[in-house]
Structure 1
Amino acid sequence: MDRPDVPSGSTAPQGSRDHPTFQEVYPGFPEPQFEPLTFTRRSPDETLARARAFYEEMQTRRTTRHFSRDAVPREVIEWAVLSAGTAPSGAHRQPWRFVAVQDPDLKARIREAVEAEEYRTYTARMTDEWRSALAALGTDYVKEHLTDAPWVVVVFREKYGLRNDGTTYKNYYTVESVSMAVGLFLAAIHHAGLTTLTHTPNPMGYLSELLGRPRNEEPLIVMPVGYPAPDAHVPKLSRKPLAEIFQVDLGPSGQ
């Protein structure tokens, strides 16, 4: 009996339901090119030690709103963006764009626009529940970190691709892909000895105009980057313990 997904009389090589051939899944497309995986397998003890060491480094990461104005070399930002660019992405479309701003006048314009929207949020849009959630952090609509920090990095997601002739093509899982890249950027910045703040003003379409971005890009997050100020402080908070964020082989009932 012919397989239902293979035309009768086809001479293409046939795989199994568990192992279809490339041409069965992608008829008419050229075969992809592969290369050997470069990977260093480590002993279980070393693997555990490295996992623990990375956690111990990352658990010191904190978000502060108090930045030094000391300069940070552009190369540091570039290396952090390259690290972010190692993130996986839907269909490997890499739909992230990191726009780094150091010009004081442009940072001031970004701050002015952000504060205008944040003022509306804190004074008119914010629900009581939202205000209650933020009270422990003590945030407000004044965003001096946007002009104090030597760099402001705005991350855009490419909603869809643009060809040279103006036609478009679809990107996949863009929010998820860019979010993973942002996570790696945070880790890279912390590993470099700097600090950052994740800021998501809403709405923030004005950032596209301020930064001259094309119509297919949408701002997702704003991150000032630099050294913490000498008097920097952070809210006294705790992170959830492992038992609250992790489970192994538990079914729906949790038994």
Structure 2
Amino acid sequence: MNAKSDVDSNATLNAFREVVRSRRSVRRFTDEPVPEHVLDDCLELAMLAPNSSNLQPWEFFVVRTPDLKTRLADACLGQNAAKTAPLLIVVVARTDTWREHSRMALEQWPEEKLPGIVEKYYSRIAPIHYNQGPFGLLGAAKKAAGLFVGLSRPVPRGPYSKSEMKVWATKSTALAAENLMLALRAHGYDSCPMEGFDECRVRRLLKLPRKGLVTMVLAAGKRSDKGVYNRQYRFERDTLIHYL
């Protein structure tokens, strides 16, 4: 690696470090709107997050209409972040789009030739792997088979139920939400991921799909002078990081 590459690499690392370290959960925002081009770019970057089987089990609902945003802030228990942010983004995990997205993965394959292993996965393996069947019976059967086969070799363990499908979809959706928050910070804006909300009211307000799981409500905008309540701290790394 030459000197210029070293400089470029260090600059990239320092910029990334600054984005990560300056990202905070902001509780109060100014009324400055988030420009459309910034929002579009952040959502585009969010959708580039890694996700299970590239099935992209997420949806983003951007709420900017004043009346709806006020009612959504109320459903978020009246938190200051929700009340003061110029826009709220409801991040939803979907457990029911895998079949359609498997089809889309084949139709929208970005290369001229579709590899056989890709065609096999999305047309034959995915429909079994993610399908739980009526009353969860297929999931139960797959779990029993996995327990038996797993005695002699490694096997995928799940998802074997509707609840495990929720975990599956939420993991990928949370990765996309993190991309979104970091993208906002890189553009000079801030966010606050909120778990404190009445999901029933949020779902009703936005008319969300029945099988959509509200992962978080993200407040976004410019932080006010009193937007960060305290200094950032984390627990001692030795208690949470283990080298084996």
Q: TM class, shorter-chain normalised?
A: 0.5 to 0.7
Which protein is richer in helix relative to its size?
Answer: 2
* 3-state DSSP of counterpart to 1:197: strand
Q: Which has the higher contact order (CA 8 A, sep 6+)?
A: 2
What residue identity is the alignment partner of 1:220? T
Q: Taking structure 1 as the reference length, what is the TM-score of the superposition? A: 0.62
Unaligned runs of 5+ in 1: 1-41, 116-141
Give the corresponding residue for 1:211: 206
Give the deviation of 1:49 after TM superposition: 4.3
SS of the counterpart of 2:218?
strand
- The offset of 1:113, in angstroms, is 2.3
Aligned-residue RMSD, C-alpha: 2.6
Q: In structure 2, how many angstroms separate the alpha carbons of the residues matched to 1:217 and 1:232?
A: 31
Q: Is 1:86 the counterpart of 2:40 in the alignment? A: no
Relative distance call for 1:103 and 1:82 in structure 2 (3 A) is same
SS of the aligned residue for 1:218 comes to strand
Query: Partners in 2 of 1:160 and 1:180 — Cα distance?
Result: 19
Measured at CA, do residues 146 and 54 of structure 1 come closer, stay the same or move farther in structure 2, by a change above 3 Å? same
1:59 Cα deviation from its structure 2 partner: 0.7
- CA 144–53 in structure 1, closer or farther in 2 if over 3 Å, else same: closer
Residue correspondence of structure 1 range 100-249 to structure 2 within 5 A: 100-115=62-77, 142-161=78-97, 170=130, 173-201=168-196, 203-240=198-235, 246=241
Superposed CA offset, 1:5-42 (max 9, x none): xxxxxxxxxxxxxxxxxxxxxxxxxxxxxxxxxxxxx9
Per-residue deviation, 1:48: 4.4
> Are 1:83 and 1:184, in contact at CA under 8 Å, matched by a contact in 2?
yes
- Counterpart in 2 of 1:126? none
Alignment of 1:3-82 (within 5 A): 43=5, 46-82=8-44
1:135-174 per-residue CA deviation (whole Å, 9 max, x = no partner) reads: xxxxxxx41332321100010001112879xxxx748621
Distance 1:208 1:162, change over 3 A: farther
| Equivalent position SS for 2:216 | strand
Aligned-residue offset at 1:236: 2.2
SS at match of 2:203: helix
Larger radius of gyration: 1
Calculate percent identity across the aligned residue pairs: 24
Cα distance change on mapping 1:70 and 1:95 into 2, 3 Å: same
Name the SS of the counterpart of 1:214 in structure 2. coil
Query: Normalization by structure 2: what TM-score?
Result: 0.64
Measure how far apart 1:51 and its partner are. 2.1
Q: Which runs of 5+ in 2 are unaligned?
A: 101-126, 132-164
Letter in 2 for 1:174: A
Structure 1 residue 90: deviation in Å?
Answer: 1.1
1-structure distance, mates of 2:32, 2:12: 32
Structure 1 residue 203: Cα displacement: 4.7
Q: How many residues align?
A: 178
